[in-house]
Structures are given as C-alpha cells and as structure tokens.
Copies of this chain bind each other. A is one copy, B any other.
C-alpha cells in the first residue's frame, strides 16, 4: 500500500488546531483577531528590511536571516490557523490563485514589467 501523500499545510493545520484546543484559545481565535495577528507578524518581517537597501536586503547577515526565518514562520502559522477557522482549504486556494495569475500575467505581456495586470 502506498504511503498517504503528505501535506505540509494540513499537518501544520492539525498541529495548530491541537495547540489551540489544548490551551482553550478558540475563544481568542476569531478571524478578526487572527487577521490582526497575521499583519502584525508580516510587519515584523518588514521591519528587518526597512532601513536596508535592496542590495543589503538580499545579503542579510546569517543571524538576521535566522531571525527572519522565524518571523516568516510566524506569518505562516497565523495564516494556516486563520484559514482553518474560516474553513478555507489554503492549498486549494493557492492553486486557484496561481491559475488566475497565469491568465492575468501572460508571459509575453508581463515579461520584465512590474505593472499590475490592469495596466498591462
């Protein structure tokens, strides 16, 4: 029998659900509150880059990179938790959005341009 396919996102969802249940945190985990926590973690990512040039942002010292990695993880954890309480299948939504982006940004029009699809 083949092993069941493994999904990072579903495994994380289950781990976070168990984490919240064990602590009776469902009461705090409204979508509204989780959305606020999500943007707070995104802001901590931004903070690492705000005074760095584009070049310096691409060449972080190892200790900063390790800190940013954990900030990215925080964003992911709240994102997965928020999707769960909204009963959104995050992997499926990502596939659908990828397909939308493929059609909004055809290679021949979008090549080398940072414009929004409405401007292409």
Asked whether A112 and B24 contact (CB < 8 A) given A35-B49, A90-B73, the answer is yes
Number of chain A residues whose Cβ lies closer than 8 Å to a Cβ of chain B: 79
Q: Which of B31, B43, B60, B102 contacts A39 (CB 8 A)?
A: B43
Number of copies: 4
Per the bound structure, the CA–CA distance linking A8 and B76 in Å amounts to 13
CB closest chain-B residue, reference A5: B6
A residues with a Cβ closer than 8 A to B are: 2-3, 5-10, 12, 15-16, 19, 22-25, 27-28, 30-33, 35-40, 42-54, 57-58, 60, 65, 68-70, 72-77, 79, 82-83, 85-91, 93-94, 96-98, 100-102, 105, 107, 110-114
